[in-house]
Structure 1
Amino acid sequence: MTTAPASTDSPFTLAASAEMLYLDRPFTERVGRIAERGFQVEIWDWSGKDIAGLAATGATFSSMTGYLEGNLTDPDGIDALLATARKSLVVAAQMDCPRLNLHGTGLDGKGLPVRPVETVTPAMWLTAVDTLRRIAALGEEADRVFTLENLNVAVDHPGTPFARAADTLALVRAVDSPHLRMNLDLYHAQIGEGNLVELTRQALPYVGEIQVADVPGRCEPGTGEIHYPAVARALHGAGYTGVIALEGWARQDSDAALDAFRAAFTTHQDEGAPA
């Protein structure tokens, strides 16, 4: 299927994850196709990818994973997190990627925490804030932004500490640096907390980007229970003009998934323009 890039009057910058779309193509071709469709591109673990080849596609990269291993609270894990964050910053410079994504702990290939945590103690909270201050300092030195992503523990990431949107927001607020922001993932938030419109209003002062997919299934908007045009109106009404990224699977066809995503976050959709 061939689809020309569509014009859009979206008030947001739209991006899509090359990890989850066009899965029948080599990775570099996925990136190129997303860019051809007029979207910025997001990637996960960069360590096994052809960075020069990705940069040569001409795509604009919005976000990439900002570490390879480590965590926020364990001494050895902190050292690993900081060391691989530094390596990630080098790659981000090669790709001109402004945002580097973090989680509450390192995740394995199935999205499960390498070191699950049953109870997060007050001491762990304090240590996590200190670690994230050090991460923000690295971002400031490199003129990049690290983002801390909320996850859900009910379906995709059981045992991950600092996973809820309320947790990631609290940590980002505590650090209070423009080089550490929140990656507000509304798919995860719907599973874990719900009340998405109010959540976005509370979080927006600290948001570096927003990621979306529908629930259940983690596919494009319109395939599940979240009414994303209403979320789009609320975001526009609150003055958000930043990145919204599709981090979801295509229900059937990747071009159609991108069309549905664009439509959900374009101002003429559903009951007129966002208020």
Structure 2
Amino acid sequence: MYTLAVCAEMVFRDLPIEERARRLHDAGFQVEIWDWTRHDLAALERTGAVFSSMTGYIRGSLTDEDDAAELLRTAEESVKAAALLGCPRLNLHGTGLDGRGLPVDPVAGEATGPMWIAAHRTLGRVAELGESAGVVFTLENLNTAVDHPGVPFAKAADTLALVAAVNRPGLKMNLDLYHAQIGEGNLIELVRRAHGLGLIGEIQVADVPGRCEPGTGEIAYPAVARALADLGYDGTVAMEAWASGDDDLALDRFRTAFTV
């Protein structure tokens, strides 16, 4: 069966990040964080939590050579930070995001052919870095309609195509079903396709609308959980969602939705 994780950035927000990690660990969840540069990694390590994912770069973009060089340079720094926490996965986006989740280097319209070529080349180098360090970089799909307008390679179809084209063990897909529901829908078939290709590095979940815990919106997550179990998916399912009210209740709803 799959393992459950929770993004510490989005729950227990009145507490320091290390206390959030400790609470999640005590509740039986693995822990995800975002930008590691904002946290005391030594304090997080002392919590005893198992860290499943963190942001895999600080700056940069996949769309051109100059930005790609910065992405690769900061990815190397992220690999070293991940080693301190024993974190096996490092997450990527098409371009850096600011504090509001907006792209630092937005793209107007669809990514161009040269952007696709640059992204493919850069992701190959990222995958090589991951393989040499013993970690996996994951490319996340995002939605551009609500949360991240202007992010290149945002749709699940785009991220899946890039990961498949690179076709290296150091790069997988972070399949975010919240973003996919807004951008494309047809979630169970999307999961089946990505799993069948062996390209899922992680699955993230939140409900629509609102980006709160499963059970607060329109997505039938128990049906998704049954599909994952039927497929034999044994990776990580992570709740990257705001608590709609009580944080502990949100964790219980997440666990219930994915208990098959």
Q: What TM-score range do you get, normalising by the shorter chain?
A: over 0.9
C-alpha distance after superposition, 1:25-73 (max 9, x if no partner): 1111011111110000000000021000000100000000000000012
The AA in structure 1 aligned to 2:187 is: L
What percent identity do the matched residue pairs reach?
Answer: 65
The AA in structure 1 aligned to 2:174 is: N
Measured after TM superposition, the shift of residue 178 of structure 1 is 1.1
* TM-score, with length taken from structure 1: 0.93
Secondary structure in 2 matching 1:221: coil
CA distance in 1, matches of 2:17, 2:130: 27
Match of 2:20? 30
Unaligned runs of at least 5 residues, structure 1: 1-10, 268-275
2:51 matches 1:48? no
* TM-score, with length taken from structure 2: 0.98
RMSD of equivalent CA atoms: 0.6
Match of 1:68? 58
Task: Find the partner of 1:245 among 230, 234, 238.
Answer: 238
Greater than 6 Å deviation, 4+ residue runs = none
Q: Between Structure 1 and Structure 2, how many residues are aligned?
A: 257
The AA in structure 2 aligned to 1:144 is: V
Match of 2:120? 129
2:77 matches 1:87? yes
2:57 matches 1:59? no
CA distance in 2, matches of 1:216, 1:112: 19
2:256 matches 1:263? yes
Match of 2:221? 228
The AA in structure 1 aligned to 2:34 is: W
CA distance in 1, matches of 2:168, 2:246: 40
Match of 2:132? 141
Unaligned runs of at least 5 residues, structure 2: none
Check conservation: 1:250, 1:257, Cα contact below 8 A: yes
CA distance in 1, matches of 2:43, 2:70: 27
